[in-house]
């Protein structure tokens, strides 16, 4: 890995962490009571990812973020 690649990789990790933090906050704000709430939340997270200025490398971010969302939702749904 060249120095340039390392730098880009580091930038992507930092960006992903910022976005993951924002999404965690979005998910915390949602009150998951029914399936409709779940879909509304998924829609708002998806819109955020597609149209947020931070997410330039969307495909890489989407895969990382979707697994995070999946984990968080499983935990939340288990509590309901």
Q: What is the pLDDT of residue 60?
A: 57
Helix segments in 1-80, DSSP class H: 3-29, 35-51, 58-79
The domain limits of the chain are 3-79
Name the average pLDDT for the chain: 66
pLDDT confidence of residue 59 = 59
Tell me the CA distances in angstroms from 33 to 30, 36, 64, 73, one per residue in order.
Answer: 9, 8, 26, 12
Task: Tell whether pTM > 0.85.
Answer: no
The confidence score (pLDDT) of residue 78 equals 60
Over the stretch 31-51, which tens digit does the pLDDT of each residue have?
Answer: 666 667 767 777 777 777 666
């Amino acid at each position: 890995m060249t120095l340039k690649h390392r730098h880009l990789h580091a930038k992507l990790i930092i960006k992903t962490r910022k976005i993951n933090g924002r999404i965690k906050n979005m998910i915390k704000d949602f009150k998951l009571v029914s399936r409709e709430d779940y879909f509304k939340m998924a829609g708002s997270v998806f819109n955020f990812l597609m149209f947020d200025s931070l997410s330039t490398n969307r495909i890489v971010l989407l895969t990382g973020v979707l697994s995070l969302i999946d984990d968080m939702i499983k935990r939340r749904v288990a509590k309901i």
